Amino acid sequence: MNEYILIGLNNVLSIQNILAIFGGTVLGLFVGAMPGLSATMAIALLLPLTFSMEPATGISMLASLYLAAMYGGSIAAILLRTPGTPAAAATIMDGYPLAAQGKAGKALGVSLIASFIGGTISAIGLMTIAPTLGMIVLQFGPVEMFSVAVLGITIIASLSQGSTIRGLFSGGLGLLLAMVGMDVTTGTPRFTYGMLNLFEGVPFTVALIGLFSIPQVIRLIQADEQAKKMVSKVTDRMLPTLAEFKHLLPNILRSGVIGTLTGLIPGAGGDTACWFAYNEAKRFSKHKEKFGTGYIDGIAAPEAANNAVVGGALVPTIALGIPGSSSTAVLMGALMVHGILPGPTLMTEYADVTYTLIWAVLFANFALLFVGLAFTRVSVYVTQIPNQVIAPIIVVLCVIGSFAINNSVFDVGLMLIFGIVGYIFDRLRIPTAPMVLGLILGPLLDGSLHQSLLIGNGNYLIFLQSPISACLLAVALISIIQSTPAGFWLRQLVRAVFGRKAA
């Protein structure tokens, strides 16, 4: 295990990997700064840039892009009062008031330092938790893997915004779509309707590009022209003073840990973590009344948390093959494009790639600190590009991305269909993240179900005979029940039995 850590460190220090990390950071900073472009979309759109790179280099670049976009989102939040990415929504609360007082530079500086420390905490978390979890998962057979997949789907469905029914529906539909194509065990083509293009199944990355980009494009242009964007100017210095830094440190550390833990949970990403950390910072603070008026604590907390999500979300992605957020789902897509199947093999067969990625996440934080200090002032101009120009260009990039994966125009059409479905889902408030997860986990679920049933001679009870699998399935069941009326009754029952405090 230790030798791989060193191999990864060695890999990451090669010239092209360092260049990739810096390149990804710069791109992520600019894309994150554009209002309305999320980190997920940035990764999906820039995926084709990495096709001709080495797998480790490409993935490292995308991971640093993800990390930098998390900071970039705060630039628009602070200067424009619109979050550049959903994960920066909480930063507006104190970031914009501070910028309005003429201290935009300080707001951005606090955000950068908090992002840096939060990201570093989570990178260390990733380096310690992922290998341990990976070791445990290596003991898992098909029976346990099936239960892990079921748990992944139910958790993301019940945690995603909106109702659990909608989440599960979306997840189920994703699983169903994953069934298209050749059956892994029997070799019969399913739901292909004679179309040769579908024999390989629905290309997951193509679906991702469509689902995450096209709805956003339509959202950018659907409303009538708004008033010209108002931008606060950055005139003061960025770096906070030593006293301010000392004052912020406990808050940043706490928020970093909160972010890492939130990232670990599949389905909860930066947009959840930033509010969580903001509220906790407020609760611990001695000056609760200052929050919302341009208090630096209110900037540091959400920014440390949303960058810390990156490392946390990568843990289940690497160890289990279940992405911890929609951005890591796209990162998984990138791995698959490079022919690396996510899951337990990442820790054994592809350990060199995995450890390079883990180191890259750590180094990307340092890159972010430099790039942030150098380019934040420039990125202010990016925030002023009108939406009407951005939207068509995104479409042009989507076409490249979806075509380049299999060199097929059919895929471009498929991307568009997924995009339109994504938009309809969005209008109906059905979350798309569970559908993406269904598409990823479908083959795993299908394959492990077949294998488990072969082991158990066709008896479904095999899933309850393995203690690990039984526990995982029980947790999955609870996560569904807690969001139904039955869960409400159960909670009332618990309250009645154990008194008020227990519930």
Partner 1 sequence: MPQILAIFVSILAGLMVVDVFLFKRRNQNAEAGNTVADAQSPYIGGFFDGVNVLRAGAFMVMVVLYIFLLDTMGYFIMTPLFLIGTLTLLRACRPLTLVAISVVAPVFVYLIFVTFLDLPMPMGLMQ
Q: What residues make contact with partner 1 under the rule CB under 8 A?
A: 48-49, 51-52, 162-163, 165-166, 168-169, 172-173, 175-176, 179, 190-191, 214, 218, 221-225, 386, 388-389, 391-393, 395-396, 399-400, 403-404, 407, 409, 412-413, 416, 420, 427-429, 445-446, 449-450
Q: Is-contact 275 222, C-beta < 8 A? A: no
Residue with smaller CB distance to partner 1, 355 or 423: 423
For residues 262-287, b (16+ Cβ closer than 10 Å) or e, as one string?
bbbbbbbbbbbbbbbbbebbbeebee
Residue with smaller CB distance to partner 1, 226 or 457: 226
Say how far apart CA 389 and CA 392 lie, in whole Å: 6
Residue with smaller CB distance to partner 1, 308 or 435: 435
State the nearest-atom distance from the C-beta of 477 to partner 1, in Å: 14
Q: Is 492 helix (H, G, I), strand (E, B) or coil?
A: helix
Residue type, 325: S
State the nearest-atom distance from the C-beta of 134 to partner 1, in Å: 27
What is the residue whose two structure tokens read 């890492």? 260
State the nearest-atom distance from the C-beta of 49 to partner 1, in Å: 7
State the nearest-atom distance from the C-beta of 185 to partner 1, in Å: 10
Measured over the CA atoms of residue 128, residue 134, residue 139 and residue 143, the dihedral's sign is: positive
Residue with smaller CB distance to partner 1, 74 or 170: 170
Q: Is-contact 47 396, C-beta < 8 A? A: no
State the nearest-atom distance from the C-beta of 55 to partner 1, in Å: 15
Token output for 343: 């899951």
Residue with smaller CB distance to partner 1, 2 or 188: 188
Q: Is-contact 312 262, C-beta < 8 A? A: yes
Say how far apart CA 249 and CA 110 lie, in whole Å: 11
State the nearest-atom distance from the C-beta of 247 to partner 1, in Å: 35
Residue with smaller CB distance to partner 1, 144 or 303: 144
> CB-based contacts of 500: which residues, under 8 Å, 6+ apart?
none
Token output for 117: 């420390």
State the nearest-atom distance from the C-beta of 175 to partner 1, in Å: 5
Residue with smaller CB distance to partner 1, 233 or 427: 427
Query: CA–CA distance from 183 to each of 123, 188, 344, 439, 462 (Å)?
Result: 38, 5, 22, 15, 22
Number of Cβ within 10 Å of residue 188's Cβ equals 8
Residue with smaller CB distance to partner 1, 78 or 207: 207
Residue with smaller CB distance to partner 1, 191 or 498: 191
State the nearest-atom distance from the C-beta of 255 to partner 1, in Å: 25
Q: Which helix (H) or strand (E) holds 256?
A: helix 242-264
Token output for 4: 């791989």
- The closest alpha carbon to 71, from 32, 126, 14, belongs to 32
Q: Is 234 helix (H, G, I), strand (E, B) or coil?
A: coil
Residue with smaller CB distance to partner 1, 237 or 427: 427
Say how far apart CA 268 and CA 254 lie, in whole Å: 18
Q: Is-contact 75 28, C-beta < 8 A? A: no
Q: Is-contact 200 408, C-beta < 8 A? A: no
Q: CA-based angle 312:315:319, to the nearest 5?
A: 170
Say how far apart CA 49 and CA 330 lie, in whole Å: 14
| Bridge partners, 190 (sequence order) | 181
Residue with smaller CB distance to partner 1, 139 or 407: 407
Residue with smaller CB distance to partner 1, 59 or 449: 449
State the nearest-atom distance from the C-beta of 161 to partner 1, in Å: 8
Token output for 403: 């075509």
State the nearest-atom distance from the C-beta of 148 to partner 1, in Å: 17
State the nearest-atom distance from the C-beta of 253 to partner 1, in Å: 32
